[in-house]
Structure 1
Amino acid sequence: MDITKMTAAERAELKAQLEAEERAEKQKREDDVTAYKSAVDEFCRLKFSRLKAMSEEMRRLKDVVFADAETLIQLKEELFKTKSDRHSDQFTTSDGRITLALGNRTNDGWDDTVEVGVAKVKEFVKSLARDADSAALAEMVMNLLSKDRKGNLKASRVLQLREIARKSGYSELIEATDIIQGAYRPEETCQFISASYKDDKGVKHTLPLSMAAMD
């Protein structure tokens, strides 16, 4: 199409046609965007409604599981004359096929007296004679006193340290580790429930109880 050979009327008509096509294209995009937003609204509202119902049911079921477990825990304590550590409990069917565990997840925590115990350990390490055996003991002790990235002692390492202190026979080290252990104040973070089962072949599987745990 040679625009130079078109009359003024033809050029005006072509311009109007192009503008109309541009407006139509713009309108279609606006309509498509509106339709997309409408689809998003419908998706969010419908799925949120179902997820909310599922969340409420999981909350209700969690409360039921903990309440029923509390009854079993009390019965176990009465029957076997034991006291639960209250952080976690586990129940398994008599055939060993199904296991439920529940309790409170904890983070290691310590009161301010822990620093007294740590200081005493360091004093003890400094007092050791520098032969091969004492150097090895000092290194082992200090490694167990190393803190994590958050600057906290690890309770599992403190238990190892206490065992080493007992075996070493050093009263100063035993006293220091007792102070550290006495300063232990675990902090409960959240409740948890886990369930596992064994299939017909005896293979253990974990029952996914969260969206993230599902394949």
Structure 2
Amino acid sequence: MDLSTLSVEERAALKAQLDAEEKAERNRIERERETYKQLVDATVKASVTKLQSLSSEMMRIKQEVFNEFGTVIKLKNELFKVKSGRQTDTFTTSDSRMSLTLGNRVNEGWDDTVEAGIDMVKEYIKTMAKDENSANLVDTVMSLLAKDRKGALKANKVLELEKLAIKSKDERFLEGINIIKAAYRPVPTCQFIQVEMKNEQGNTVNLPLSLSAM
């Protein structure tokens, strides 16, 4: 369209038409955005309501399972003379097709006396690097004393250190390990349940018990 050929009235009419179309488009987009917001609100509310029910049911069943196995664990301790205070227990059916593990996840922690034990062990280590064999032992002990990213010792490494201390028969080494062990302060973080089952092919599969695993 050649605008130069239009009269003033025609140009005004064309501008009014374009303005009206632009306004109508803005209104359409605004209505659709409002409809979208309403859809989000409705979908979120409906989904959260369902998930609240699921969460409550999962919590109820979890507590029910722990209560039921409380009796089983107590009987296990009595019948088999095993120590109580374990962080986890695993139970498997007679046909080995189902296995359930439950317990507490634990963050490893230590009180401030652990440093005294570590220093005592390091003092002992300084006296050892005399030949290749003892140097290798020093490297092993130092690696076991290494802390994780959170600055804490690993309890399983302390057990390995204890084996070395017993083998060495050195009183200073043993005393240091005993101090470290006495400083152990595990902190339970949450209860958990894990279930494994054998499928039709005889392969072990985990039962998904979290939304992220489903």
TM-score band, normalised by the shorter chain?
Answer: over 0.9
The residue that corresponds to 2:168 in the other structure is 168
Q: Is residue 8 from structure 1 mapped to residue 11 from structure 2 by the alignment?
A: no
Describe the superposition over 1:121-153 as per-residue Cα deviations: whole angstroms up to 9, x where unpaired. 111112225222222222211111011111111
What is the correspondence of 1:10-25 to structure 2 with a 5 Å cutoff?
Answer: 10-25=10-25
Once the two structures are superposed, residues 33-84 of structure 1 have per-residue CA deviations (whole angstroms, 9 ceiling, x without a partner) of 0111111111101111111110110011111011111011112222223233
Q: After TM superposition, list the pairs within 5 Å mapping 1:149-188 onto structure 2.
A: 149-188=149-188
Asked if 1:73 is matched to 2:73, the reply is yes
Structure 2 partner of 1:88:
88
Partner of 1:130: 130
Q: State how many pairs are aligned.
A: 214
- Bigger shift: 124-133 or 205-214? 124-133
User: Does residue 206 in structure 1 map to residue 206 in structure 2?
Assistant: yes
Q: Which amino acid aligns with 1:58?
A: M
- Output the TM-score relative to the length of structure 2: 0.95
How much is the aligned-residue C-alpha RMSD, in angstroms?
1.3
Assess, with a 3 A threshold, how the Cα gap between structure 1 residues 84 and 202 changes in structure 2: closer, same or farther.
farther
Alignment-derived partner of residue 46 in structure 2: 46
Query: Partner letter of residue 109 of structure 1?
Result: G
**Greater Cα shift, 165-174 or 116-125:** 165-174
2-structure distance, mates of 1:43, 1:49: 10
- The CA distance in 2 between the partners of 1:78 and 1:161, in whole Å, is 32
1:117 aligned onto 2:117: yes
SS at match of 1:78: helix
Alpha-carbon separation, structure 2, partners of 1:76 and 1:51: 36
Aligned to 1:194: 194
Q: Structure 2: how far apart are the matches of 1:38 and 1:93?
A: 51
Structure 2 distance, partners of 1:54, 1:129, is 60
Report runs of 4+ in structure 1 exceeding 4 Å deviation: none
State the distance in 2 between where 1:128 and 1:79 align. 46
Would you say 1:101 and 2:114 are equivalent positions? no
In the other structure, the counterpart of 2:64 is 64
CA–CA distance in 1 between the matches of 2:82 and 2:133? Answer: 41
2:167 aligned counterpart, secondary structure: helix
Asked if 1 retains the 8 angstrom alpha-carbon contact of 2:129 and 2:138, the reply is no
Identity of aligned residues (%): 50
